[in-house]
Structure 1
Amino acid sequence: MGHGRADIAKAASEQIGTLAYASNWGAAHPPAIEAAALIAELAPGDLGTTFFVNSGSEAVETALKFARQYFRSQGQPERTKVISRSMAYHGTTMGALSITQLPKIKDPFGELLPGIRSVPNTLGFTGDCGPVTDLECFQAIERTILEEGPETVAAVFAEPVQNGRGALVAPDGYWPALRALCDKYGILLVSDEVICSFGRLGHFFGHGVTGVVPDMVTFAKGSTSGYAPLGGLIVREKLVRELFNSSKGGVFTHGATWGGHPVSTAVAVANISAMRDENVLGNVQENGPKLMKALNGLKNSHRCVKAVRGTGYFYAIELMADSFSGREFTEAESLKVLREVLPESFKRTKVILRGDDRGATMLMISPPLVADAEVLSELLHGVDGMLNDIEKAVQP
């Protein structure tokens, strides 16, 4: 939502002056109740119960714990295994890191949670690819479920648009087929929307892109637009009732001291309300396709661009040494681009993006949701300059 919004700052200030802190253990406070009600109103289907935490990693951790406790409450304690996609990033806490599929950030910590399986992501498949059930990136999921034993699998975690490996948009029909597959085997489908929710894709939630209602949704970043730390897990009402009514379940045994902090939830209400009332999602829906077209235009005019992927206001530019000859970066060239060329380009162009090396050398582009045509023009001018700098550095 951009920097310096007086309405959001006012909401934080007023909340500090009214109720600076109250725990959500055993009883909720007014701003948490208001935030949860607003989220339930905007969420698809019967996703109606929100458990607040402080960050995206904590939200994923909460989803893992809910899945485990839920199945234990239903007399299925053997359901502990989790499936996630190759190169996916889900967080830094031990559980979230366990289902993250990026060896570089996992290996330093040794053995993590057991029972985590990786399946292919959707790289190379987007749009109309024919029957999705014929694609290896989908078939591998069912094959893995059967190899592990469906009765041992608790959840499948996936992002509506996968961040790791560069804004991967799934092929048509992927998510409905994934929903049907999870239903077939009684597995919970968790949509990790820490990045994608609250406007990043032009919708409040990934449902606007995937067309399916998952069993759980994790969120964080966009819920407060960075004005205060907040994350959460939204759970389908059916699952909540089944847990609460079970003799082996009852209360979800989880919590955090600052989870659903009064100031953070007051900020979330102000932020999400403004997002809704000012038609911010409409801005993303209108300008997102134009941004994609412009980025593809840069691809056509720069030999260092291999691919452009994404949707809404969430994109990745995959880089290479020379698309004309097909030459990829050497390891040394990639390091030079990420650690030397791009930092200097950010300073020179006054446009700060993120360089990424998860599986490829990439530029990640996520403009503020309120960015209009003028701001996007400045952004594109900066990206053009960065690509020029990269070509000068690696091409003879």
Structure 2
Amino acid sequence: MTSHVFQSTVTKPKAIAKDGKGVFMTIEKNGKEHKQVLDAITGAAVGSLGWGDPDVHKIMADAALQHTYSFPGNIVNEAAEELSRFYIDNSPKGAFRSCLWTCSGSESNENALKIVRQYQLERGKPEKLKIISREGAYHGFTLGAMSIGDGPRGIPFKDIMIDQEHVCLKMPMFYPYRRMKEGETVEQYAQRLVDSLERIVVENDPNTVSMVCVETMSGTSIGTPVPPKNYLKGIRDICNKYDMIFMVDEVMCGTGRVNDGKLCCWENFLAPEDAPDIQTVGKTLGSGYVTIAGVLVGPKIYDAFEKGSGLIVGAQTYHSHEFNCRVALKIQQKIFSQGLTSNVFKMGNIMGKRLQNELLPDPNNIVGDVRGLGGFWTLELVKNKTTKEPFDKSLHVGARFAESALHHGVNVMGLTGGNTKGEHWDIVVLGPAFIIREQEIQLLCSKLKETVEDVTKTLQDEGLR
């Protein structure tokens, strides 16, 4: 059978999500139907409420009955206003003043770049043009988002991306497992990275640097390393020192996935007065039921627009779409009323601790690291646990792990990541639904351990480790 969906493997049949209930789903792949698959990644860490939620069915039906489309360049809607107030009110006081609702994380990051550019123009500082982001980063698949990223997916499009030598600059990535020096603490390592950022700013003339952009916790790029508190604080201080915007991308790690009872992941690491100037969000915002993401605008940027033109020219057709915003608001209200961000924080940490205890001490398996926080964790797979040598990237060990996990009844995201310098690594990313219970966590950990054992044996039998 030939696929008519132009994505992934273009001509080959693709895995199909058939249905789901709670944290379980049915996946059809290569003619076989896998039932009661425990969904440990919810697509791409999207599904906060899991699948088949009866309340969401009613929420969507009611929203459809109330829906009237309006073009955002001319007319806004109450649902967009209400969702904005909800996010602002449930973030640290004074962190954000306004919100833009988009349809994807890539789109949010693309719009954030334009907002920051206009911010500099509103202030009469057109020379502040340069953007500093991290090596190995992933911020989306549109041209602007790829330009501030640094993965192999962007290499074929480099010639049509924003200038990678003079505009989109890269600072070292935060990757303790592979980049910390022997005898160095994680705080010392973080300070070394902060110092390197300042050198890059100074070398490129601070008067021409507009912003620094990082993911609070990286996701599918390098797999959920947890920063010490001096890392983001150090970046914030440098942005203040050199009059630069501090942007965080929380499309994957934010909106409750990594916060015990709240929304923003950065609250684990920063005080309210050190909040980012602009932040992108998405994924769990609509729990996979609607296509929604967003840009949260802080007072510094908002004030420049207010004192300047007060105008954003143009809009995208489905920005702040009434139906999407109304559904997302009700989903977030349900999550808060049931304390589900606290639940996934607790359950995720139970999962991570058990995986660390059971997988890391074994010198013979392929799990070199288990890292994460709350509802966002990663296994890093290595050929040699002592030297941290990765598998040859042509083996696609991450994808092979995901295939094996499916046969064990678990859906994970396994992939081979890398940067534009030729480095690569194999990771398995976990991001379960916020509703997951402890018995399901224990089942998940057992199935992942079985998968590790099977993949390890298979690679040994093939003489690949």
1:31 maps to 79
Q: In the alignment, what sits opposite 2:360?
A: 299
AA partner of residue 92 (structure 1) = F
Residue identity opposite 1:87 in structure 2: G
Tell me if structure 2 keeps the 8 A contact 1:128–1:172: no
| 1:160 aligns to 2:216 (yes or no) | yes
Q: 1:330 to 1:238 in 2, by over 3 A?
A: closer
Secondary structure at the aligned position of 1:59 is classed as helix
* 1:283, distance to aligned residue in structure 2 (A): 0.8
Deviation at 1:134, TM superposition (A): 4.1
Separation (CA, whole Å) in 1 of partners of 2:386 and 2:247: 41
Say yes or no: does 1:9 pair with 2:74: no
Matches within 5 A, 1:232-381: 232-246=294-308, 249-297=309-357, 298-301=359-362, 303-323=365-385, 328-332=390-394, 334-335=395-396, 337-339=397-399, 341-358=400-417, 359-381=424-446
Cα distance change of structure 1 residues 363 and 262 upon mapping to structure 2, 3 Å threshold: same
Q: How many percent of aligned residue pairs carry the same amino acid? A: 26
**What letter corresponds to residue 187 of structure 1 in structure 2?**
M
Change in Cα spacing, 1:66 to 1:344, as seen in structure 2 (3 Å) is closer
Asked whether the 8 Å contact 2:390–2:426 carries over to 1, the reply is: no
* Contact 1:303 1:322 survives alignment (8 Å): no
Distance 1:59 1:328, change over 3 A: closer
Aligned residue for 1:61?
Answer: 110
> 1:349–1:385: 8 Å Cα contact kept in structure 2?
yes
User: What is the rounded CA distance, in whole Å, between the counterparts of 2:105 and 2:341 in structure 1?
Assistant: 22
Q: Distance in 2 between matches of 1:128 and 1:277?
A: 39
Specify the code of the residue in structure 2 equivalent to 1:352.
Answer: N
In the alignment, the residues of structure 1 paired with residue 66 and residue 331 of structure 2 have an alpha-carbon distance, to the nearest angstrom, of: 19
Asked whether the 8 Å contact 2:405–2:448 carries over to 1, the reply is no
Matched residues in 2 for 1:356 and 1:284: separation?
A: 24
* Separation in 2, partners of 1:321, 1:344: 18
* 3-state DSSP of counterpart to 2:97: strand
CA distance in 1, matches of 2:406, 2:286: 27
Rounded to whole Å, the distance in 1 between the matches of 2:345 and 2:185 is 21
Taking structure 1 as the reference length, the TM-score comes to: 0.93
Structure 2 partner of 1:148 = 204
Q: For residues 324 and 80 of structure 1, do their structure 2 counterparts lie closer, same or farther at Cα, with a shift above 3 Å needed?
A: closer
Paired with 1:319 and 1:342, the residues of 2 have a C-alpha distance of 9
Q: Which residue of 1 aligns with 2:46?
A: none
Residues of 2 paired with 1:270 and 1:13: CA distance? 12
Question: 1:342/1:46 Cα in 2 relative to 1: closer, same or farther (>3 Å)?
Answer: closer
Q: Where does 1:128-277 land on structure 2 (aligned, <5 Å)?
A: 129-131=186-188, 134-135=191-192, 137-163=193-219, 164-202=221-259, 203-211=262-270, 212-246=274-308, 249-277=309-337
Counterpart-to-counterpart distance in 1, 2:136 and 2:310: 36
Tell me how many residue pairs correspond in the alignment.
Answer: 389
State the Cα RMSD in Å: 2.0
